[in-house]
Structure 1
Amino acid sequence: MASPADMSAKGSLLLMQSIVSVGSFIAPPLALHLFERKSGADYLKLNGKISGKVVILTIVLMFCIAPFIDWTVKVNQMMDLPAFMEGLEKWMRDKEKELAELTKHLLTMKTPTELMINIVVVAVIPAIGEEFLFRGCFQTIITKITRNQHLGIWLAAGIFSAIHVQFLGFFPRMFLGVLFGYIFVWSGSIWPAVLAHFVNNATAVVSAYIMQSKGKSLDSLDHPSTSLPEATISLSVALFICYIIFKMTKETREVLND
């Protein structure tokens, strides 16, 4: 059982993370959005119409893509840098271990109340803040500069992944960022991307809670066991769902372009 000191330290950490997330990721994009709307720009597309079918498909998509993302985590962890970059690789792995321990500390939950708090801090706030900043602002700005929507999506996703400073999970997080980016573009609203991000994070939080309620260690979170065939099926189904979303939102994109 956690001591009062440990609970107090964790509470302070959660509070600090919430304040930093709101101040760094939510407030600046909202300020930019409100300022630029005067000139006709709409960075976040907060009022975009979203169909119930797109919402359902987005949720299903995130569960279907999960095995593929887990497999990319495993592959990313197996990558080794050249010998002359040994020092950099050691720093990256040490940093990864440090952040992994912090994540486990945050995901240590004993009660439903702690679960709800973690869902808010780890899933709700980051989903809103990071999508507002990286998809709504960075992706839109890069797309305007490069005049290439795909380049805007991929570069913003790369920045999104790099800023987490977890390089052994760089590619999985970048792929998720790309997925969120296309969902944002296809739907014409930031909210489906926020929903996708929330489902991804909340699933991890709930899974950690269930594992602990069964007396299992969180160490298995660092070692995904998805096989290549499972990852292939996962990606194939996810791409098919993406195609359906793309076709369903065609009318919305045409209206936005007009």
Structure 2
Amino acid sequence: MNYFKFLVLTIAGIILVSCSAAKKTTGNLNSKIKTEKLIDLHKKSEANFTTLATRVQVNYDDGSSSQSMTISLRMEKDKAIWVSASILGITMAKMYITPQHVSYYETIGKTYFDGDFSLLSDWLAVDVDFNMVQNILLGNSVFNVDEYQYTTSFSESNYILTPKNNNGLLQHLFLINPDNFKMASQQIMQPKEQRILKVDYLSYQPAGNYVFPKEIRIDALEINNQTKIALDFRQIDLNARISFPFKIPNGYDEITVD
């Protein structure tokens, strides 16, 4: 059995076990909570800010190579995400994302990408857009929960939201943290393409009047590929004046995504 099939069966098992044990709760879980109330509490947990700036320790492993570095992350909510990776003050790579566009370049191989979200979708093994990327970074649900009907069940430590109709081309499962009603885990599957994106939130940290992810673990899987990304966020600064300097250098080769 390959790893992809194993993980699919594991996630399916989580759903079946949690549904069969829906009345068994521990810790801060409320066994009487209604699904509508749980969704409302998650929506209210979304941070209201204009800009965000932080540094993030990143560990990346795609099975054939691994890297570890600290990046600068800046965000203007709903408008832009900017990432810069530097070593000893030398820029190694930059990325600038807007709702319509993704631009990226790296200095070692002197390559760049300037186009749609196909590059990020290829990296994460699931079709993504700006809102999904932003919500992953903020611990919010990647999909609009008002567009689905859910049932609530329980794991030992989290609420589980499962769509009543989860048989489409893009399936998902949400685990919600009972302490702050942010995401504990998001699992997205594209069965036809045999793709899975699993995002686990290991811890959160306060900033202003809200909480933001502190540690995120991302597993992106396809049939023969697995990418692991670990993110550790440092102190988060909200609503500071920030800029997004980005210009693709001359003489770089363009990356194409099949």
TM-score bucket (shorter structure)? under 0.3
Instruction: Between the two structures, name the one with larger relative contact order (CA 8 Å, sep ≥ 6).
Output: 1
From the two aligned structures, give the one with the greater helix fraction.
1
Give the TM-score normalised by the residue count of structure 1: 0.26
Give the TM-score normalised by the residue count of structure 2: 0.26
